[in-house]
A = this chain, B = another copy of it.
């Protein structure tokens, strides 16, 4: 029988994170202070983040040691297994070999704890007592709740309203780990109250929830803000995924032709992809694909601009593909991918054509996730289903071309808390959203005079 799972022994776990900034042909453009238009310095970020994370944010060092205290917690579930999707291959009749990194084995059920643990550790070490954050689908909120509990920090999560309503059990997970979870927009912050006054029925968005969490952090004692994606240090912490995958692929003597991850802010994609992008920069021939929802097409339809990371314009201006900070994506079930921008590092690599982008509609994603559940067994997060959909596209292409091909995707999380979307799909109530260009144009119009990267 073919090997289905490749484990790493705990002693084989990577001991350093990989910082792609050391290898990029064109460095990332600096975030700008919206008032002065000048690059932001560490002091600008100090009210929001603890200094060790600000240092990682700007570090150009290629390898950054994982502290023992962080490693001890990562070992709760890491190294995560690499699986081969032999049953899916068979169902597709493809000559392609499909591998997936199973990040669903973490207590919170996704890749998110990889950075949550590190962030909680550095905040704790810096003397912080409480973290605030936002969450879309709830994966990030659960992860940071879990991490805060392990390090003895308080935790306040602002959860995008539509996900809060669709995924009631997520809140209970966060509470089980001792966190407070509030639907966003809320009446706890000025940013939330302003939005509620204007749009009382809004489904919410990550941009809005970020504004609330930042406001809470900068106005509360011993509190900092924690972001689950987008920023450089977050992507850095996720690279343990790709570094493990490389060791595991070596064990079966294969190298991927295609590497795939879904993209909201970009962290699970970057986590798997960046160590492979490094190889590509050094001459290796492979395709790296980020997959986003057609309903929130930042990489495929949005320009590379300077824009705010949140709706209330509290962040620095970030150089990224953005649909405009006021863009509220349609209520697709992949709540974790409903973000108007995408990580600056991912954006720069896309500009430099080191990675590719593809968008998929949610009906295709759920069809892919159903096939996955009925062959591989595991029920996927709606976000993860985007990576699966493109893996299936690539496997079918391999079949048409009669080519052997090695496909590697990041199975970023399970969907056991997200079955509402499956319900809608199975009962015929799910639909695709067409996103008219006019909606994008109008959100972009608001940022047309911002500096250009």
Contact = CB atoms under 8 A, between A and B. Distances in A.
Interface of A: 1, 3-5, 7, 9-10, 68, 71-72, 75-77, 87, 105-107, 109, 146, 149-150, 169, 172-173, 175-178, 370, 373-374, 376-379, 416-417, 419-420, 422-423, 426
Nearest to A168: B419
Contact of A173 (B7, B150, B419, B420): B419
Contact of A169 (B106, B169, B373, B378): B169
A416 B416 contact: yes
Contact of A176 (B5, B176, B370): B370
Contacts of A68: 1
B5 A377 contact: no
B377 A422 contact: no
A377 B146 contact: yes
Contacts of A5: 10, 75
A172 B1 contact: no
Contacts of A379: 107, 173, 176
A400 to B, nearest CB: 27
Contacts of A370: 176
Contacts of A374: 149-150, 176-178
A1 B72 contact: yes
A411 to B, nearest CB: 12
Contacts of A1: 10, 68, 71-72, 75
Contacts of A420: 172
Contacts of A416: 109, 169, 173, 416-417
A76 B10 CA distance: 21
A216 B10 CA distance: 49
Given A107-B377, A419-B169, A4 B76 contact: yes
A4 B75 contact: yes
A382 to B, nearest CB: 12
State the 8 A-B residue pairs at the shortest beta-carbon distance, nearest first: A107-B377, A172-B419, A7-B7, A169-B419, A107-B378, A4-B75, A416-B416, A76-B377
Contacts of A77: 377
8 contacts: A5-B75, A77-B377, A106-B377, A172-B419, A172-B422, A173-B379, A176-B379, A177-B374
Contacts of A377: 76-77, 106-107, 146, 150
A423 B107 contact: no
A76 B426 contact: no
A105 B173 CA distance: 18
Contacts of A87: 76, 150
A251 to B, nearest CB: 10
A175 B10 CA distance: 37
A373 B4 contact: no
Nearest to A117: B377
A177 B373 contact: yes
B10 A9 contact: no
Contacts of A76: 4, 87, 376-377
Contacts of A71: 1
B10 A3 contact: yes
B9 A175 contact: no
A64 to B, nearest CB: 19
Nearest to A169: B419
